[in-house]
Chain A
Amino acid sequence: MREGSRCGAVMEVRVSPTRMQLLRLKKRLGMAERGHKLLKDKRDELMKKFLDLIREEQALRRRVEAGLAKTLPAFLEARAAMSSEALEEAFMAPKVSCGVDVATRIIMNVKVPEFTWLGEKTRDVYPYGFFGTSASLDDAVAGLSELLPVMTELAEVEKSIELLADEIEKTRRRVNALEYVLIPNLRSTARYITMKLDEMERGNLTRLMKVKDIVRAKQA
């Protein structure tokens, strides 16, 4: 109590201690509390989405890293087995045109990209004839073509995590500012005004009693 009032003396919003100000302060306090609750809900919901995404990211990341750890050496092996001209020729005209469609999705007012994989899911992904190319190249290309959609998904999830993280940080700051600065300040100022008003009330009462005493003494 004492600490609060002392803090109020230092940090209070400077106002004249009137009933009008008290009313106004109470209105502001109510608003701040409502805002605080809303922002807190927003933060919690963001956090929930965020944690879901993190879990998804971890699973996808493991799949991608394991897949690439198999695919990349296969490419190297193929390159070692083939002449660079043959390899160049083999890659000349990619058969599958891979790409993504980009849309935006809104999570709690945060715009995140949404990628839709647009590659055909055919078995025949090899952009070359089988003559003159090594078997490990086939494995590598097949492996990578399976991996690309997963990588797209991972990219989407990671991007969303990044964007959500910013929003969470901002919301968290606002919640804290309301909870630890604005609301306590308003409360202590309101208390300061109430006490001041009470004090004035008591002062008035004493004065009246005193006056009455004097009047009575004169009458007697």
Chain B
Amino acid sequence: MSMYRFAAVGEEEAVFGFRALGVDAFIVKSQDDAAQVLTEARKGGYAVIFVTEQVARAVPDVIEGLGDEPLPAVLIIPGVGGSLGLASKRMKTIVEKAVGADILFQERG
């Protein structure tokens, strides 16, 4: 049984708290950093990487690229400013691609 760890990638004020629980925090200082920091986090061999919406929005292509591999799993979490609904939007596109129609998310937009 091997243990994988977590990483959190995001702005400092959103991810510093994760360190209290032994999650490795990767701090993104500006939008231009995002891709680089994310790539670095990816090399760390984490099972789950939490990414704040702000970062995910800056580098959507990197996030999509991670989708095809079994690990790591990327979880988009709302940043300090509250949820932008980015994660639901992403799920919506995935469902649409698979099913060919928007079947579940109509009520939520």
A76 touches B75 (CB 8 A): no
A98 touches B77 (CB 8 A): no
Instruction: Count A-B contacts at CB 8 Å.
Output: 141
A100 touches B48 (CB 8 A): yes
B91 touches A158 (CB 8 A): yes
CA A37 – CA B10 in complex, angstroms?
Answer: 47
8 A Cβ contacts from A92-108 to B: 94, 96-102, 104
Binds B, one of A62-70, A202-210, A212-220: A62-70
B75 touches A154 (CB 8 A): yes
A26 at interface (Cβ–Cβ under 8 A)? Answer: no
With contact pairs A69-B82, A166-B68 given, residues A101 and B1 touching in the complex (Cβ less than 8 Å): yes
A111 touches B75 (CB 8 A): no
A73 touches B98 (CB 8 A): no
Say whether chain A's binding surface is mostly helix, strand, loop, or mixed: helix
Measured CB to CB, the closest approach of chain B to A200, in angstroms, equals: 45
A161 at interface (Cβ–Cβ under 8 A)? Answer: yes
With contact pairs A69-B82, A162-B67 given, residues A75 and B17 touching in the complex (Cβ less than 8 Å): yes
B2 touches A101 (CB 8 A): yes
Q: Which residue of chain A has its CB nearest to the CB of B98?
A: A165
Chain B residues, Cβ within 8 Å of A162: 67, 94
Measured CB to CB, the closest approach of chain B to A119, in angstroms, equals: 8
Residues of A within 8 A of B (CB): 47, 50-51, 54, 57-58, 61, 64-65, 68-69, 71-73, 75-76, 79, 87, 90-91, 94, 96-102, 104, 111-113, 115, 118-119, 125-127, 140-141, 144-145, 148, 151-152, 154-156, 158-159, 161-166, 168-169, 172
Given contacts A50-B99, A87-B16, 19 further A-B contacts (CB under 8 A): A58-B104, A61-B91, A68-B77, A72-B79, A76-B80, A79-B16, A97-B22, A99-B4, A99-B22, A99-B47, A100-B3, A102-B2, A112-B70, A115-B47, A127-B20, A145-B21, A151-B77, A155-B74, A168-B98
A-B contact pairs, 30 of them (CB 8 A): A54-B104, A57-B91, A68-B77, A69-B78, A72-B79, A76-B80, A79-B13, A87-B16, A91-B20, A94-B19, A94-B21, A94-B22, A97-B22, A98-B23, A99-B3, A99-B22, A101-B4, A102-B4, A104-B70, A112-B70, A113-B70, A115-B47, A126-B20, A141-B20, A144-B17, A152-B6, A155-B75, A163-B70, A165-B94, A168-B98
Residues of B within 8 A of A (CB): 1-6, 13-14, 16-23, 47-48, 50, 67-68, 70-71, 73-75, 77-80, 82-83, 87-88, 91, 94-95, 97-100, 104
